[in-house]
Each structure stands twice: as structure tokens, then as C-alpha cells.
Amino acid sequence: MIYQHASEIVTDEVFLELDGILPDRQLFLKLEGMNPAGSVKLKSALGMVEDAERKGVLVPGGRIVESSSGSLGIALSVIAASRGYHFTCVTDPNISSQSLALIRALGAEVLQVTQKDRNGGYLGTRIARIREMTGADPNLVWLNQYANPANAQAHAQWTATSILKNIGHVDTLLVGAGTTGTLMGCTRHFRMFSPWTRIVAVDTAGSVTFGGLPGPRHIPGLGTSRRPELCQPEQVDEVILVDERDAVRMCRRMAREHGLALGGSTGSVLAALESIADRVPTGSRVVALSPDMGDRYVKTIYDDMWVADTFGTGVLDDSARRPVAV
């Protein structure tokens, strides 16, 4: 297929059937990192930008601002470059050096906050900075991925539809929760067209999205220090919190045993799945979403020194603690 713009290349039908994690069940990993932005966030970004264009909020030559810890910032940078917008990404120290460099390489401006919010994260600070910027400049367009219905709608339209088209019957679906746009979009579509599917939300320990206690988090992707407006916890069947150490162990295991370097969010999703394996009936068809690949984590998750400094040397072995359902 021939495309006219890089931002149009949405690869939404790449699934890998995995063995070894769920014996006697079928496990399909939906790989979302096979596009120019390298993550599932390309669909979120496209959905929000095109919605703003349709409404006349975003006009040719317009200026966009958004908060991101990495993936959405890259996705919006790709779209801004291909469509002639100016984009400012407001981020924080948890962004990986690779993501930061890529956003800048794509021509976007980067503003990095350093002060933590009251829950010990940076999201509240990033949003406060954006509110200051848009208050001073009414022509600056904040897409607001945390509250924008177009974020969730993109995943109802693309992600969830693709799963049911390619896999058919799905008994259990696991989706990581960041802004919860992917989660809420998939939930909306599955409740309508596959109501029997058990939907499991995966979050990281230290996130407050589902009412957990705030705590330090080192890996971008999952978790928030304030509940996103899009989040509707009552719509999912189960929430599992995963310690980042277990996510790191799973990522490194997948690289060694399957030749698949995955991002931290995917490690969390697969660790959560392993923790509930005894509750997944034999013969089940399970789908897990993999938001991005591991190339942006080579200096963190896949770097022995960073892992040891951040989590301790014990994480470098194969022992694991089980995530907990909440």
C-alpha cells in the first residue's frame, strides 16, 4: 500500500501468538509499535487532531500543545511535521532520552517541568504549565488527551474493531491504563459488540488512577498522579496493579526467551496476565495490548546498571513477585 503522509501509516492488524505464558490457552499480543510514531499513541493523536480540524479549532499553520511522557509527544510530532503544525510537548524528567531526542528531531519544541505535584508525580505540574500557556495565548490548541473523547473514540474505531475482526471471539482482554483513552475506547466497543469479554485494566503501583496510593514511578507509559477525566473504573471487570520491578523482569524475560524487546507498559500487561493465569479457563482466547516496542528503553529497562540503581540488583534475576488485584 502506498501512503501520502507518514502519519497515515496506522498498522492496526499485527498480532503475535505467544506460547509459554498461558499454557492450554491462546494468547495474542497486539503489537502497536509498528508505525512511524512507534506506538499505539499514533491513533490517539490522529483522532484528536482530526477531531480538532473538523471542528475548526485547529487550522492550517496552527499551534498545538500537549502533555506527554513520551509516546504521544512523538506521535503528535510526527503529525505536526507532516501537516504543517507547530507542536510544543510539555514533559518531565521521566521521559527517556531516546524519546526526548526523537521529539526534537521531528521539529517539536520541548518544555520540561521539574517540580512534582502533590501526589509525587509530574502530571499535575505539566497540566498547570499548559493552563498557564493557553491562558496567555488563546490561539494555542491544547488537545488534552486526558479528557478528550476523541482519544477514546480512536480506539473504539480502530483498536477494538481490529481485535474483533482479526481474532473473533475474545474471552479476556488486557489493556494498560495511562490516560485510559485506549482502555475506555476498547471497553466501549467491546461492551457493545462482545459483552461476554472480560476486560482487565492494568495499572502500575504508585498510580492513583483507580484509587491506589500515590508512589514513585520510574517508567513512563502507565499510571497517573491524577485520575484522567476519561477514566470510568466501573466499566472494567478487574484492575490489576503491577510493581514496576515485575514489569522490568517480564520485559527482559520476553527479550531473552522470545526475541521480543517490548516497552514497560507491555511488561506490566504480561506480568498482570501471568498473575491471573490460574483464573483464566483452559481453552480461552486472550488478547493483550502491547503499546510500544523496547527500543526506547535500551538505556533503562534493558540496561543492567539502570535497573540495579533504580530497583536493586535482585530485579536482575528471574525471581518475581505477583501483582495484586484491586
Give φ, ψ of 248 to 5 degrees: -65, -45
For residue range 2-31, list pLDDT tens digits in order: 888 888 899 999 999 998 889 899 999 999
User: Residue 151 corresponds to which cell in the numbers above?
Assistant: 482519544
For residue range 251-294, list pLDDT tens digits in order: 999 999 999 999 999 999 999 999 999 999 999 999 999 999 99
Q: How far apart are CA 162 and CA 176, in angstroms?
A: 17
- Other beta carbons within 10 Å of 109: 14
Over its C-alpha atoms, the chain yields an Rg (Å, rounded) of 19
Provide mean pLDDT across the span 310-322: 74
- Residues 175 and 264 occupy one common structural domain: yes
DSSP letters, 236-294, are SSEEEEE-HHHHHHHHHHHHHHHS--B-HHHHHHHHHHHHTGGGS-TT-EEEEEE-BBG
Evaluate the CA torsion angle 282, 287, 291, 294 in order and state its sign: positive
Q: Residue 319: what pLDDT?
A: 46
- Residues 269 and 169 occupy one common structural domain: yes
Distances (CA, A) of 39 to 7, 72, 99, 125: 12, 8, 12, 24
The answer to whether residue 258 sits within a structural domain is: yes
- Residues 111 and 208 occupy one common structural domain: no
Q: Would you say residue 324 has pLDDT above 70?
A: no
- Residues 93 and 134 occupy one common structural domain: yes
- Residues 163 and 267 occupy one common structural domain: yes
User: Residue 292 corresponds to which cell in the numbers above?
Assistant: 510500544
Which of 142, 176, 199 finishes a domain?
142
Rounded to 10°, the helix 71-83/97-105 angle is 10
- Residues 83 and 228 occupy one common structural domain: no
Domain that holds residue 116: 41-142
Find cell 505540574 and name the residue: 125
Q: Residue 119: what pLDDT?
A: 80
Q: Residue 260: what pLDDT?
A: 96
The answer to whether residue 318 sits within a structural domain is: no
Determine contact, residues 263/252, Cβ cutoff 8 Å: no
The answer to whether residue 1 sits within a structural domain is: no
- Residues 90 and 18 occupy one common structural domain: no
- Other beta carbons within 10 Å of 277: 14
Q: Would you say residue 322 has pLDDT above 70?
A: no
Q: Would you say residue 171 has pLDDT above 50?
A: yes
Q: Residue 318: what pLDDT?
A: 59
- Residues 30 and 94 occupy one common structural domain: no
Q: Would you say residue 195 has pLDDT above 70?
A: yes
Q: Residue 96: what pLDDT?
A: 87
Report the percent of the chain where pLDDT is more than 90.
83
Give strand pairing partners of 175: 201
Q: Residue 117: what pLDDT?
A: 86
- Residues 169 and 99 occupy one common structural domain: no
Q: How far apart are CA 64 and CA 41, in angstroms?
A: 16
Contacts of 60 (CB under 8 A, 6+ apart): 84
What average pLDDT does the structure give for the chain? Answer: 93
Residue 311 burial (10 A CB sphere; 0-12, 13-18, 19+): middle
The answer to whether residue 149 sits within a structural domain is: no
Q: What is the number of domains present in the chain? A: 2
- Residues 170 and 296 occupy one common structural domain: yes
**320 confidence band (pLDDT: 50, 70, 90):** very low
The answer to whether residue 300 sits within a structural domain is: yes
- Residues 218 and 237 occupy one common structural domain: yes
Give the CATH number for residue 101.
Answer: 3.40.50.1100
For residue range 87-138, list pLDDT tens digits in order: 999 999 988 888 999 999 999 999 999 998 888 888 889 999 999 999 999 9
Q: How far apart are CA 301 and CA 306, in angstroms?
A: 7
pTM of the model: 0.92
The answer to whether residue 197 sits within a structural domain is: yes
- Residues 64 and 15 occupy one common structural domain: no
Q: Would you say residue 224 has pLDDT above 90?
A: no
The answer to whether residue 150 sits within a structural domain is: no
Determine contact, residues 15/166, Cβ cutoff 8 Å: yes
For residue range 29-69, list pLDDT tens digits in order: 999 999 999 999 999 999 999 999 999 999 999 999 999 98
